[in-house]
Amino acid sequence: MRKSEEEGRYKIGRNALMRSIVICIVAVIIGSFAIPGLLAQETGAAVEVRVTPESEYVEEGATFSVTIDVDDVTDLKSGQFDLSFDFEVLELKEVEAGSLGGETLPIVIENLVDAGTVRVVCVVSGETASGSGHLAKVSFKVIGAEGKTSRLDISNGDLSDNGTIWFYIDEEFRDEFNGREIPDELKENLKSRGRILEDPTVDVIEKDNKWKITDTRVYMVIAKDSKLRIQDTGEIFTNWVNAEISVGGADNEEEEEEDGEEVSEEVIRPGSPEITVLKPAEAVVGNVVRESRAFTISVHQIADISWQINGSVVQTNESITEASFTKSAVIGSWNVSTIATNTTTGLSDTHSWIWHVTLTATPSPTLAPRVTPTPTRAPGVTPTPKPAAITRTTAKPKSTPTTKPAGFEVIFAIAMLAIAFLLVRKR
């Protein structure tokens, strides 16, 4: 009788243990599929924002619109951008509110920065919005003659979520931040809130008082009331894609390309491109925070131009001889580089500026004159001809980290359950 009862209890325990093991395994499998999607934006995957005209070709005297489209954004709270155009070809008529995930994005700021640039700021009318849609709709009237073109370029773009995470740590960690190090206490605080630092960098904005941490998220550290306040800025990493329109039909465009073939053949030369004009000419430049700084180069042959800040590509210009990059000043020291590449030969020329941005104006020291480096083949460039020019801008401060596998704790729990099952079975 006792033996029968023991066998019954054993079977019940074994069945319960088997069910627990199955549940754990299923949970891990489901998590392996669900977690990457939930964390896609959290881990720094860039959201794409692009200028989308109704058509690449517009008729002289016509009115048309472009939308500033955004794809797969999560918890968007606000967005802003400057849209530049050729004011001799296009006349700005109207800026209308956008929509995202059923939420309206009212325009709170709309003003002309200059004759060919409109600044737009929009804010979600509700709490936040997610999904795909457009930030704004911008209408133009064509005032240029047939055959003219205008680029539609975005600069100073920024998307933000609600950035709700903030907390305080002890002020004793100032020295570690000054030394560009991350205190363990900060790592633990962020981890307890579901934020794990992967490859953070620290910028000292104001010694002993203000620092910026850039990782898959961007955090500000500010000294306040004998404490250090940690605040998520809410910045969403974004790729910005520009566009171009032409006045006239596609047939006219093809005729112009045929007429310009001989000229193009004269400009596209084998060998290395050479950067011939630099603006600013100084190797070290300075600005006060929020000022705009433009960098411009000219090349003696058609080339692809890449712009980088601290090694990260922020804008590319294809098949041109002159290019500009404009950025609103953010506190810190930045290495702004431009690379001109001949896509036929793969050879390139480079130049860099050191850009210091401070709270107050400071004189900019001047370095030695620029020395043109020996032409080298750009890595990963396939020597093939390029089509007509179109500009694409990207902004992605961090490379997208790979999603990590299930945690060690889950695997350990499964292993322990399996061991327990073997022990019960042996018994």
Residues of the chain with pLDDT > 70, as a percent, come to: 68
Decide which of 210, 233, 256 is a domain's last residue: 233
Q: What is the model's pLDDT at position 32?
A: 40
Are residue 186 and residue 298 in the same domain, yes or no? no
User: Are 329 and 289 within 8 A, CB to CB?
Assistant: yes
- Residue 222: inside a domain: yes
Residues 6 or more apart whose CB falls under 8 angstroms from that of 280 comprise: 295, 353
Instruction: Please count the other Cβ atoms lying within 10 Å of the Cβ belonging to residue 161.
Output: 22
Q: Classify residue 291: in a domain, yes or no.
A: yes
Please tell me whether residues 337 and 383 are part of one structural domain. Answer: yes
Q: Which of 203, 233, 263 is the last residue of a domain?
A: 233
**Residue 230: both structure tokens together:** 């940690």
422 lies in the same domain as 312: no
Most distant CA pair in the chain: distance in Å? 103
What's the pLDDT band for 14 if we cut at 50, 70, 90?
Answer: low
200 in the same domain as 303: no
pLDDT of residue 94: 93
Cα gap 148→427, rounded to integer Å: 87
User: Tokens 């489901």 belong to which residue?
Assistant: 30
Looking at the predicted structure, is the pLDDT value of residue 6 above 60? no
pLDDT in tens, 300-322: 889 899 888 888 888 888 888 88
pLDDT of residue 418: 65
Residue 52 lies in a domain: no
**Pairing assessment for the beta strands 284-288 and 347-358 based on DSSP bridges:** parallel
Question: Secondary structure of the chain: what % helix, strand, coil (to 5)?
Answer: 20, 45, 30
In this structure, what CATH number is given to the domain that contains residue 380? Answer: 2.60.40.10
- Position 406 scores a pLDDT of 43
The number of beta carbons lying within 10 Å of the beta carbon of residue 135 is: 27
The confidence score (pLDDT) of residue 272 equals 74
Q: How many domains does the chain have?
A: 3
**What is the pLDDT, as a whole number, of residue 234?**
83
Percent of the chain with pLDDT over 90: 27
Residue 268 has pLDDT above 50, yes or no: no
Q: Is the Cβ–Cβ distance between 88 and 174 less than 8 Å?
A: no
Q: Hey, CA dihedral for 415, 421, 425, 427, is it positive or negative? A: positive
Statement to judge: residues 345 and 391 lie in one domain:
yes
* Residue 47 or 243, more confident: 243
CA distance 10 to 124: 60
User: Alpha helix (H) ranges present in 44-180?
Assistant: 174-178
Average predicted confidence (pLDDT) for the chain = 76
263 inside domain: no
Same structural domain for residues 370 and 420?
Answer: no
Q: Do 391 and 278 share a structural domain? A: yes
User: Could you give the CA distance from residue 190 to residue 215 in angstroms, rounded to a whole number?
Assistant: 12
For the segment 113-132, the average pLDDT, to the nearest whole number, is 90
Q: Which of 233, 260, 287 is the last residue of a domain?
A: 233
The model's confidence at residue 388, banded by pLDDT at 50, 70 and 90, is: very low
Predicted pLDDT at 411: 58
Query: CA of 83: how far to CAs of 57, 130, 191, 214, 297, in Å?
Result: 19, 23, 39, 27, 21
| 393 and 415 housed in the same domain | no
Beta bridge partners of 73: 131
Residues across the chain: 427
What's the pLDDT score for residue 10? 54
* Within a domain: 36: yes
Q: Which residue has the tokens 């918890």?
A: 75
**pLDDT of 64-118, one tens digit each?**
999 999 988 888 889 999 999 999 999 999 999 999 888 888 998 888 899 999 9
Alpha helices in 88-148 (DSSP H): none
The residues that bridge with 303 in the sheet, in sequence order, are 320
**Which residue is it, tokens 């680029």?**
151
Task: Give domain status of residue 82, yes or no.
Answer: no
Residue range 408-426: mean pLDDT, rounded: 60
- DSSP one-letter code for 395: B
210 lies in some domain: yes
Residue owning tokens 């509110």 = 97
Half-sphere exposure of 305 (CA within 13 A, CB side): 28
Same-domain pairing of 381 and 415 = no
Do both 294 and 371 map to the same domain?
yes
In a domain, 242, yes or no: no
Distance separating alpha carbons of residues 299 and 273, to the nearest angstrom: 6
Asked whether residue 422 falls in the same domain as residue 358, the answer is: no
Question: Do 286 and 389 have their domain in common?
Answer: yes
Predicted pLDDT of residue 379? 45
- Residues spanned by the domain of 372: 272-397
